[in-house]
Copies of this chain bind each other. A is one copy, B any other.
Amino acid sequence: LLAVAKVAVDDYVGFTFFVGCMAMMAASAFFFLSMNSFDKKWRTSILVSGLITFIAAVHYWYMRDYWAANVESPTFFRYVDWVLTVPLMCVEFFLILKVAGAKKSLMWRLIFLSVVMLVTGYIGEAVDRENAALWGFFSGAAYFVIVYDIWLGKAKKLAVAAGGSVLSAHKTLCWFVLVGWAIYPLGYMAGTPGWYDGLNGILDMDVIYNIGDAINKIGFGLVIYNLAVQKSDETL
């Protein structure tokens, strides 16, 4: 028997961890089980979407219990989750642009940038909190380069070359990165000391991160799913 702890009615962090965990599990089942209904070309993309939510489901399971036991931010688990899932999202960009001839170097460049973004963020949040604002700045710089690359750089050119539903899926994913990912720096500012301390009282870091994850991981996957649906309809 599990010793199921109570979640207080006003424990929004615990609440979002719990709902997040269940939603990630359901999304994983959805992606894993639907992948074989698609054309071979699209299966890997859907499988990767499922991996992203599956990795998240397992981490949320831990984070939820960590929060229930220690009432403390599970920073370590959070970043392990991100350092696995964000590079996988970069792989997704590569996979959908492969039809237009994307090279692996594009993928590695995005992965490298995302790891820089996350490692500097982790240092600021967990190791060198006094200088959190500075580390956040470096992290933000890497984030900015990613945004540039996909919105205006090489990835954009490839998407235009592919055209059609690949282009429009790429555009939606670009919006996810620009707006959806921007949720995270907000959470960071709410949870670390710095010139932005006014935010501390209003927002809670973990709630913001959890909302961001639900939107970005599941939403991102659904965009890919949708693209695969459209592409499979075309070939019929």
Q: Is A183 an interface residue (CB 8 A)?
A: no
Copy number in the complex reads: 2
| Contact status A58-B3, CB under 8 Å | no
Distance A193 CA – B40 CA, assembled complex (angstroms): 53
| Contact status B44-A34, CB under 8 Å | yes
Measured CB to CB, the closest approach of chain B to A67, in angstroms, equals 9
Which of B19, B44, B59, B127 contacts A84, CB < 8 Å?
B19
| Contact status B30-A37, CB under 8 Å | no
Please give, as numbers and ranges, the residues of chain B lying within 8 Å of A18 by CB-CB distance: 76, 80
The verdict on A1 contacting B32 (CB below 8 Å), with A70-B6, A83-B19 known, is no
Distance A22 CA – B59 CA, assembled complex (angstroms): 9
Distance A23 CA – B83 CA, assembled complex (angstroms): 10
| Contact status A30-B1, CB under 8 Å | no
Distance A19 CA – B118 CA, assembled complex (angstroms): 15
Measured CB to CB, the closest approach of chain B to A109, in angstroms, equals 19
Residues of A83-126 contacting chain B, CB below 8 A: 83-84, 126
- When each residue 37-57 of chain A gets 1 if its CB lies under 8 Å from chain B and 0 otherwise, what string results? 100100110010011001100
Sorted nearest first, the 6 A-B pairs with minimum C-beta distance are: A4-B66, A2-B65, A4-B65, A7-B76, A1-B65, A37-B43
Chain A residues at the B interface, C-beta cutoff of 8 Å? 1-7, 9, 15, 18-19, 22-23, 25-26, 29-30, 32-37, 40, 43-44, 47, 50-51, 54-55, 58-59, 61-62, 65-66, 68-70, 74, 76-77, 80-81, 83-84, 126-127
